[in-house]
Structure 1
Amino acid sequence: MRFIYRIAVVAGLAALTAGCCNCRSYQKKTRRPLVGTEWQLVQLGGETIRPEEGRFTITLSAENGQLSGVGACNRLSGPCKSNDRRGLKIGPLASTRMACPDLKREQDFIEALESATHYDMDGPMLLILSDGELRAVFQAKP
């Protein structure tokens, strides 16, 4: 009876391992490069953000080490540096000064970007972290 139990445990572990390989394969296929991809904000400070065309997006440029983007209505730009250990330094960011609704969220967006110390990626998702705390989540735009 113990032999059958051991076989069942080994079979279960093998199934879990095989399932994990599919996850890694999916992540590799859907992963987008950090630089050159347009990223759409989907979560800020733990709050889900409904994606809106032309709002709360960023793009990192390799040529000049710059971040460009759009907040609620203002254009953003500033220096950006990343390294091979997933370190990330953004800012200080400059923005236009148009008055528009949702300026509070735009300010929170800028603060989350400027506080970045690291990033992580999960498939088509970009996670912005500040000393281990998740500040913002972006999804790669098609």
Structure 2
Amino acid sequence: MRSLPIPFLLASLLLLGCSEPEIAVSTQPDDTVQLADPAHNSRNALDWDGRYEGMLPCADCEGIKTRLTLQQDGQFMLETQYLGKSDDWFHEQGAFQWDSSGQIVKLERERSGPAQFFVGENVLWQLDMSGQRIQGELAERYQLIKVPPAELAQAPLAGTRWQLVELMGQAVPADSPAYIVFSGTEPKVYGNAGCNRFFGSYALVSEQQRLSLSGIGMTMMACPESPIEPGFAEVLQRFDNFNLSDDSLTLNRARMAPLARLTAAGPADE
């Protein structure tokens, strides 16, 4: 058997030693199998949190108008309207999980079962039940486009400093520091509960007057006992809808009496 020249063997070994396996990272679902780089995937390389909108295909209606908000704390808000069947908006909230590749999110929905989306750059692609991209003539319609943060400022609550004036039916002293601000540039909320500052995210469905907070954190300053803070902090966790009339905002739960009443105290300092 002929042996290869030693210089040729050395050159071959050098080439093999210098080459590295190529890792493909995609921002769009593909029919080919790809290796996900754990250090550079949709979850940690994209600005994925925010609200996505679109019109998804429907088997027995004109289309499903869809809004999906993904939050950094792993919570989602899904709003759907079945055109041609009802003018009502259906509202679902819950947790979502990332798959092991960091490319796909799975919504855990109690009413209609789980749903999966491939996370691309400013787009979500709805996947079928097996986690594959939907094929066929309508394939390109199974996507939701991210709403630019600046457009979220359409909320009538945003950009105003809302001062707490009534809590559980009782008037709040005029010098109380308790207030709340809904950001107009991103779905963030912050304020003062009576002594300690709080911060988190909010989700809004204007048509149904629904509003909820999530991921609320609070400072832990040693403050004098405040009769307002415990009650206001509880309201921030319990309320699920609001009413807005002129300069007055109420935070409510179901059809109960308002849990808290606030008044516009000027523009927010963002």
Answer whether TM exceeds 0.5 for this pair. Answer: yes
Determine helix, strand or coil for the equivalent of 1:108: helix
- Say whether the 8 Å CA contact 1:41–1:56 is kept in structure 2: yes
Q: 1:44 aligns with which of 167, 180, 200?
A: 167
Among the aligned pairs, what percent are the same residue?
27
* Alignment pair present for 1:97 and 2:223: no
- Which sits farther off after the overlay, 95-104 or 59-68? 95-104
Partner amino acid for 2:189? Answer: L
Where do 1:47-58 residues align within 5 Å? Answer: 47-52=170-175, 55-58=177-180
CA distance in 1, matches of 2:187, 2:174: 26
* Alignment pair present for 1:110 and 2:236: no
CA distance in 1, matches of 2:204, 2:189: 11
1:87 shift after superposition: 0.3
Partner amino acid for 2:170? Answer: E
Partner amino acid for 2:173? Answer: R
* Alignment pair present for 1:33 and 2:156: yes
1:116 shift after superposition: 1.4
* Alignment pair present for 1:62 and 2:184: yes
1:104 shift after superposition: 4.6
Larger radius of gyration: 2
Determine helix, strand or coil for the equivalent of 2:175: coil
C-alpha distance 51-76 of structure 1, shift in aligned 2 (>3 A): same
1:79 shift after superposition: 1.1
Q: 1:74 aligns with which of 196, 218, 241?
A: 196
CA distance in 1, matches of 2:217, 2:226: 15
CA distance in 2, matches of 1:67, 1:35: 9
C-alpha distance 104-119 of structure 1, shift in aligned 2 (>3 A): same
- Ranges in structure 1 where 5+ consecutive residues have no aligned partner: 1-31
Q: Cα deviation per residue 1:7-64 (whole Å; 9 max; x = unaligned)?
A: xxxxxxxxxxxxxxxxxxxxxxxxx9311110000000111002226x1011001322
CA distance in 2, matches of 1:135, 1:92: 20
1:92 shift after superposition: 3.7
CA distance in 2, matches of 1:58, 1:42: 12
**1:135 paired residue number:** 259
Partner amino acid for 1:139? Answer: T
- Say whether the 8 Å CA contact 1:60–1:67 is kept in structure 2: yes
**Structure with the larger RCO, 1 or 2 (CA within 8 Å, 6+ apart):** 1
Where do 1:10-21 residues align within 5 Å? Answer: none
1:105 shift after superposition: 2.2
CA distance in 2, matches of 1:94, 1:104: 20
CA distance in 2, matches of 1:72, 1:38: 14
1:81 shift after superposition: 0.9
C-alpha distance 103-92 of structure 1, shift in aligned 2 (>3 A): farther
Aligned residues: CA RMSD: 1.8
Q: 1:123 aligns with which of 243, 246, 254?
A: 246
| Runs of 4+ residues over 3 Å off in structure 1 | none
1:99 shift after superposition: 1.6
Q: Cα deviation per residue 1:58-113 (whole Å; 9 max; x = unaligned)?
A: 10013221110012221110111111221001124111001212445212101112
- Ranges in structure 2 where 5+ consecutive residues have no aligned partner: 1-154
